[in-house]
Amino acid sequence: MSSRGAASGEPGRAESGAAESGARESATAEWYRHFGTVDAPGNSECYAAWSVGIAEDPELIRRIDEWPHNKRQPLLMLAAARFLGAHISPYPGFRAFLDHHWEDVSRIVLSRATQTNEAGRSATLLPSLAQIAAAGGRPLALIEVGASAGLALFPDRYGYEYDAGAAVTRLVPAGAAPGSYPVLGCALSGPVPLPAALPQVVWRAGIDLNPLDVREPDDVAWLEALIWPEQDFRRERLRRAIAIAQADPPLLVAGDLNDQLLALASQAPSDATLVVFHSAVMAYLDAAARDRFRGTISRLAVERGCHWLSNEGHTVIIQADGSSVVPEMDESRLRGRFLLLHNGNPVAIAGPHGQSLEWL
Ligand SMILES: C[S@@+](CC[C@H](N)C(=O)[O-])C[C@H]1O[C@@H](n2cnc3c(N)ncnc32)[C@H](O)[C@@H]1O
């Protein structure tokens, strides 16, 4: 079975890249066509047009198929071109850009990965974080696994605008000047337990296979390139979140989350409530690695009173072993959204970029 990136644009996987005989498109061409006709429309008309253009361009498909399988994903290739300066344009202009810059596009594709860091997801995690802090009567120590640049580690430094239709609830970080932080908008439905104030975070740390460094201009440029061309509001939000992280860079450990979690958790202050959380990460792990992670979480829950928040979608990648990233809820109910679990129990369905929160 072939599978592809979901609307969040994060990596998927197609079958063999080898061209099939007859009129059928190669798997890579199919992957780009799917991205261009299913994932991109509504998010980026430019990416939709470019991706369909690539799907219908056998020479480009041949070049893309020279890359290792996990490097052929549309978002990675398109972000590499954007990183190198490709502007919104009709496909022929983009094609000419690729011809001029193909070696550089290849170099970026081979050296980078899709590591979209979406600060907006903090809006969907915040109510649960505040509940945990209130129940424990202590401030929070946060560990994000698969943290990218760690922008979700600052839920106490962002502003929030929760729109429940009849009423809008605004939360702002204490003492921060307006305009100095991103304001994360989120449409609510159901009885979302909104806090009266932001929870206190006394310690924050992350783990990533390849942590991005907000002090490195190239890493910042890559984070910007991963945002789809027309989504200026996300770019603006990213810039503000990066400025906050630059002022107080988070502790980020390089390595596999399963190898690093226990050692990092042992560094968290014991007088704070530890929360381990993740968004858009479990799809990168196979079932055995996810089981190992859950085992570690169970151990931390018993030994440390640790809480676990999982914010994941079904279809970012379908694993080769056929296992589901979110077995608790079927895809027809999620429809491209994420399931938020607190200690393994479903609590909400969240917009993949934090734009909505439906409490269950
Ligand atoms: C799609 S990004 C999401 C980043 C962040 N969680 C967010 O929501 O903005 C997934 C991140 O998980 C990281 N990752 C994937 N597998 C990992 C593993 N086994 N251990 C640590 N990090 C991993 C990737 O490097 C990438 O930065």
Contact 281 CB / ligand 1 (< 6 Å): yes
* pTM of full prediction above 0.95: no
Binding site membership of 116 for ligand 1 (Cβ less than 6 Å)? yes
- What digits encode the pLDDT tens for the residues 291-321? 999 999 999 999 999 999 999 987 544 455 6
Task: Pick the closest to residue 354 from 268, 250, 253, 279 (CA basis).
Answer: 279
Q: Phi/psi of residue 146, each to 5°? A: 70, 50
Q: Ligand 1 centre and the CA of 40: distance in Å?
A: 21
The pLDDT tens digits for 4-33 are 333 334 434 333 333 344 457 899 999 999
Strands 201-208 and 356-359 turn out to be unpaired
What three-state secondary structure class fits 293? helix
Residue 356 in 3-state DSSP?
A: strand
Contact 179, 346 (CB under 8 A): no
What is d(CA 348, CA 334) in angstroms, rounded to the nearest whole number?
10
pLDDT tens digits, 99-128: 999 999 999 999 999 999 999 999 999 999
114 Cα–ligand 1 center, Å:
9
Q: Which atom of ligand 1 is nearest to the CA of 212?
A: 27
Q: How many residues does the chain have?
A: 360
What residues contact 157, with CB distance under 8 A and at least 6 apart?
A: 173, 176, 181, 244
Q: List the domain boundaries for the chain.
A: 27-111, 119-359
Q: Is the pLDDT of residue 165 over 60?
A: yes
| Pocket probe mutation, ligand 1, options 209, 238, 252, max atoms within 8 Å of Cβ | 209
Residue 316 in contact with residue 8, Cβ under 8 Å? yes
Ligand 1 near 240 CB (within 6 A): no
**Measured from the CB, is residue 283 less than 6 Å from ligand 1?**
no
Mean pLDDT score of the chain, rounded to an integer?
Answer: 90
Q: pLDDT value at position 38?
A: 87
309 lines ligand 1 (CB under 6 A): no
Q: Position of tokens 């596009």?
A: 105
Residue 121 Cβ < 6 Å to ligand 1: yes
Cα 175 to averaged position of ligand 1 atoms, centre (Å): 31
pLDDT at 40: 92
**Atom 13 of ligand 1, nearest CA residue:** 146
Backbone dihedral angles phi then psi of residue 26, each to the nearest 5 degrees: -65, 165
Note whether 37 and 96 are within 8 A (CB). no
Q: Taking the mean position of all CA atoms in its chain, how far away is CA 225?
A: 14
Instruction: Put the strands of the sheet holding 168-171 in their side by side order.
Output: 168-171, 159-163, 183-189, 356-359, 345-350, 338-342, 307-313, 273-279, 140-145, 201-208, 251-254
355 pLDDT above the threshold of 90 = yes
Q: Sign of dihedral through CA atoms 226, 231, 235, 241?
A: negative
- CA gap 357, 348 in Å, rounded: 7
pLDDT classification of 334: cutoffs 50, 70, 90? confident
Closest atom of ligand 1 to CA, residue 8:
1
Return the sign of the alpha-carbon dihedral for residues 125, 147, 221, 352.
Answer: negative
Best probe residue, ligand 1, of 121, 208, 325 (max atoms within 8 Å of C-beta): 208
